[in-house]
Structure formats: C-alpha cells, structure tokens
Structure 1
Amino acid sequence: MSTAVKAGAAVGGLGCLMSPIALTVGISSVFVIGGFGVLFAPLIALILFFTGGGGGGDTGDPPDLDRIAGIIQGDGQGEFDPTSVPEGMADAITEAGALCADIGPVAIAAQIDQESGFQTDRTGPEGEQGVSQLPPEVFARLGKDDDDNGETSALDPADSILAQGRFMCELAEQVSPLASPEPLSDVMSLTLAAYDAGLEPVLEAGRVPRTNASQQYVMAIRAKFAIYEGAVPASPSTQDIEGQ
C-alpha cells in the first residue's frame, strides 16, 4: 500500500492539472503494476488525464478502477471499442489485430495513438510516415495495397495499419522465447519495445531494455489500453480526427 501512497503524493504534486478521477486512476494503475516501477506513475496519470481519463464520461460516473488496472497490466487483447478511434480506422485496426494470436486491436490502437495521435500525414525524423510510423524499409517490405485504391502508401491509414500488424506479429514471434512472468518480460511488452527500439536491443537484454526511452514507451502504450477497451473515455480531439 505504501507504493500507492507514494505514487499518489507524486501525482498530487501536479496540483490543479489533475482531477480527482485522474489521480485515482493513476494511483490504482501504479498500485497494481508496481512491479513495472513507480518511476512511471506521473506519466501514466497524465496520459489518462489528457486523453480523457479525467473527464469521467458524459454521465460523470467514476471509472471502474479494478477493470482499468487489469487492462493496463494485461496483454492488450481485450474487447476493442471501435468508437474510441477516428471514423474510418476501426475496420483496419480490427483486421490488423486479428493477424496473429499475440497481438489484438486494442494494442494496435494504443500504439497508433502513441506513435502519431492518429495523424495520417505525420512524418517522423527518420522518414517514418503515416499513422503507424513504420521505418520506411519495414513498410517497403510489409506494406500492401490493403485499401484497394490502386497504390501502396504509408499515408493510407489501412495500408499503414495492416503493415503495422504484420510487423508486430513478426516481432512477437521472434521475442516470444524470451517471455517470462517477470515485469516487462511478457510477449506484449517485449514486442512493443522491439517495435520502438529495434529487435536486437531486446534480444540482447532478454527483456525490455533498461532505458527510460524503452520502458516509458511500453508503459505509455499500456496506459492507453484502457481507452481502447472503452474503460476510459477517448479524448474528443482523437475522436474528431477523420480517417482517410
């Protein structure tokens, strides 16, 4: 319980930026997944707050903390809420999340949120394009004309998202022999870390690399799982983005 109290104090120091609901969600998340490190308590709480966790939904009902904590700690394969993503993207996300047993649509949606905020025209620092921000060489290998518009383009959401799903499944297969019950050593965490940092650092470490960048990437996406299972309201700005 002391872990939760310490986490609450850290988050509470953010003052008026945090609503009571967001604070409670942040504390609950850290209490249950404390094995992943108290370091990420403010990160998780802020993500949930700014993506709608502090809004309480239209009814003002408090969030189901047990459900949220279980989702964040889980494998990202819960029931996907298609209304949580921009219009026109739900079908591609559902299809990408059904390509293999280890990756579900909830994880795909949360990762897109983290990578691009569902911006279809985003360009990354290394030439990554589209909602999934795949490295160009990966998209060239795995991208297909999944929306049947006559061209294969990372700027087409369906093409980008299905290539993301193929890459995640490919990575999951390669990291699965490393999986263990230890924190940040499950297949989902290892796969997310490999997507972000590259496969080699994960294989060398035998777990999510012990760097702030890798661990924060994994925890940030886990914190978003609750949004795409409908346990935490999606932010209006995310819902308003139009899928192409």
Structure 2
Amino acid sequence: MKVLIGAVAAVAGLLLVAVMSLVTIVLTDDNAKASETTGGEGLHGVPEEFRTWILKADAACDEPALTPALLAAQLYQESKFKTSKDEATSEAGAMGPAQFLLGTFATWGRDDDGNGETSLWDIGDAVMAQGRMMCSLLKTAKNSGINDDIRRLALAGYNAGWGRVIEFGGVPPEDWSKGETYHYVEIIMSTMHRYEGPALLEVSGSGFGAKALRRASTQLGTPYSYGGGSPAGPSTGSCDGTNGYLNGRCSASVTAGYDCSSLVQYAYWPTTHLPRTAAAQYGATSNHPVARSQLKPGDLLFWSHGSSSSIYHVAIYAGDGNVLHAPRTGRDVSIAPLTSAMPEKDYAGATRP
C-alpha cells in the first residue's frame, strides 16, 4: 500500500446483516480440495508465523469475499512475508509485512498480539490491520455500484486509495502510475489459488452460526487452559484448587489457550456478546432450545451434572454429528463426535444463540 486511505473510514461503520441459513460442513483430509466446500477457506504455503494471524484476520471479517488465500497472496505481493526494516520498507515509506504508511496504520492498527505495543512491524498487528482494512474496502466496493469483482476493487483501494477507484470507475488503468496498481491487482488475483488449501474443518454457508463455527475453527489445536481465553483470543488461565492442574502442577497459569466457554464466547464475538461461563451461556440462550434432531452448525450443546444449575461443559455443533470444543486440561481445541465428546448421560440439551 502506497498512499493514505481516507474515504474508507466514512463507511467503516456499515454492518453486514446476516440470517441463520442452511450450512454444509465437510471434514477433510490433506488431499481434499477447498473449492469443493468453501472456495478457499483453507490455507497452505505461508510461513507458520503468518498462518495463525491470516486465519484470525479472515475469521474476524463478516464479508465472505475475504479469504485466507486472498490475504496471503496480498501479503506476498506487499512484502514476500518479510519483516525486517531493510527488506520491508518501500521507497514511498510504506513499512512492515503489510506495507502500511504510518497514518493509515494509525486508523487500522491495534495491539492484536497483546505485547503492549501497536506496531506495523509486528506480524499479528500488521496482518489483523490488513484484514480490517480489506474487510472495510470489500464492503465499500460491494455498495459502490461499480461493475467489477469487489476483490479487485478492494485491492486497488488498498494500493492506490479508494479515491482513485472512484476516479477511474474501477481499477486504475495500466497507463496510470506506470501500471503499479493495475499489475498489483492482476498479480494477486492470479496467484491466490497457490495459497488455497483444505482446513481441518471447512464451513460453507452464511449466517451467525456458520460465522461462529468458522471463527472457532481457526483455534483448532490451541491448548485448553482453565479460566483462559477471551473474545480477544487465547490467554493464560488459573487454577482453583480442583481445576487447571496437570500432573500435580497448575498448567493453566502457564498455558495460553481457552476453556470450553471462552472458546464459545470468542466464536460468537462481536456479533453476539455471550456471557463468560457455560452455565451463564445456557441461561442466556435457553429461550431458544433446539432438539437434537434439528441441530445446525453453530448451535451450542451443554452437559450437566443433573440439572440446568449444574452445567459444566459447552461445545459448538460442527455438523455431521460432530462438535468443536475445548475439552479439558491437557487437551487441545478439537473436533469430536457428539456421542463421545462428554458422557452421554450428562447431555443436557442444545440452544441457538
């Protein structure tokens, strides 16, 4: 990105209104094609230190046109995933892996990696800012009335400024500014497919439930941490004399992760602000019960020790008889059959947020 974006900020408040709809869930292996289900929700071929943040940036955006592959191809074109000042500083003064100017980063940057500093050189901060800006640009493009792929328009806005897109009625032509923006868009659009790949859980569809499940799926493999996790992401937890211990030691206090209810809270945030504990989440959603035969992806499932006042576990329905959950200390966020995720006799029912 070479220039400060001004016009986009005026539409940053636009909301994409979605309704719960039919969703298709596919569990895949490494040889499956992402295009068969999500059209690019998976990701491969990027440095591991970028992968988690790209998936988080995608999950944080409610615009379906934003995909991990689009973000990855854009990052490669911007900096080739470089993070040093020598390799990731342009002649125009754009800096960092996502090539932000200081003024633009001031609008979109946050301390997403939680290190106490908001920096365009931090991978997490840079990629999440890139995702926020692209999400806003895609929504602007969708509402612009310009007859072109909104991904092309958003990329042009990122590189040249949305004002130039308005000026030219689309992507600036090849004869403008030595073709910089024109070729930027063409290269990214033609190389996205290199980064598309299957994920452990691929979610096709729209609506709050699909979005929550898709967001939660980005945390697969994250450790369980009793008391840990929040809408901002994984964090260390604590032990209470009974929970959080592993091999006699307080594992939660040194493990950044989620417990069952913080994962659910993270999944539905910021669209739905669920309370923190499993029992409270049941109380907040119990007015929308769902029969086991009518479960849809994104529904919440609860287990208890005999009554609604003793709810002890919550999971997210992932389709095909499976759930996505943070099971217990020593385990990771994972997919498991509903029938064996927790003791069958403890199943208390399901709700739809």
Give the alignment partner of residue 134 of structure 2, picking from 127, 152, 168. 168
Q: Does the CA-based 8 Å contact 2:40-2:197 persist in structure 1? A: no
1:131 and 2:97 equivalent?
Answer: yes
Query: Helix, strand or coil for the counterpart of 1:88?
Result: helix
Post-superposition CA distance 1:103-162 (Å, at most 9, x none): 111111000000000001211223222110022111112111111111111110000000
Note the C-alpha offset of 1:194.
Answer: 0.7
In structure 2, how many angstroms separate the alpha carbons of the residues matched to 1:119 and 1:202?
28
In the superposition, the TM-score normalised over structure 1's length comes to 0.59
Deviation beyond 4 Å, 4+ runs, structure 1: none
1:198 and 2:147 equivalent?
Answer: no
Q: Which has the larger radius of gyration?
A: 2
In structure 2, how many angstroms separate the alpha carbons of the residues matched to 1:199 and 1:222?
18
1:215 and 2:182 equivalent?
Answer: yes
Report what 2:58 is aligned to. 97
In structure 1, how many angstroms separate the alpha carbons of the residues matched to 2:39 and 2:66?
7
In structure 2, how many angstroms separate the alpha carbons of the residues matched to 1:100 and 1:124?
31
Q: Does the CA-based 8 Å contact 1:178-1:207 persist in structure 2? A: no
1:188 and 2:151 equivalent?
Answer: yes
In structure 2, how many angstroms separate the alpha carbons of the residues matched to 1:88 and 1:153?
16
**Change over 3 Å in CA distance of 1:179–1:225 after alignment to 2:** farther
Query: Helix, strand or coil for the counterpart of 1:125?
Result: coil
Query: Helix, strand or coil for the counterpart of 2:69?
Result: helix
Query: Helix, strand or coil for the counterpart of 1:84?
Result: coil
**Change over 3 Å in CA distance of 1:135–1:85 after alignment to 2:** same
Note the C-alpha offset of 1:221.
Answer: 0.3
Report what 1:80 is aligned to. 42
**Change over 3 Å in CA distance of 1:93–1:84 after alignment to 2:** same
Task: Percent identity, please.
Answer: 38
Q: Is there any run of 5+ residues in structure 1 with no aligned partner, and where?
A: 1-66, 71-75, 232-244
- More contact order relative to length (CA 8 Å, sep ≥ 6): 1
Which amino acid is the alignment partner of residue 41 of structure 2? E
Query: Helix, strand or coil for the counterpart of 1:170?
Result: helix
In structure 2, how many angstroms separate the alpha carbons of the residues matched to 1:77 and 1:214?
25
In the superposition, the TM-score normalised over structure 2's length comes to 0.41
Q: CA RMSD in A?
A: 2.4
Report what 2:73 is aligned to. 110
Say which structure is richer in strand: 2
- Report how many residues are paired: 156
**Change over 3 Å in CA distance of 1:207–1:201 after alignment to 2:** same
Note the C-alpha offset of 1:179.
Answer: 5.1
Note the C-alpha offset of 1:223.
Answer: 1.7
Which amino acid is the alignment partner of residue 162 of structure 2? L
Say which structure is richer in helix: 1
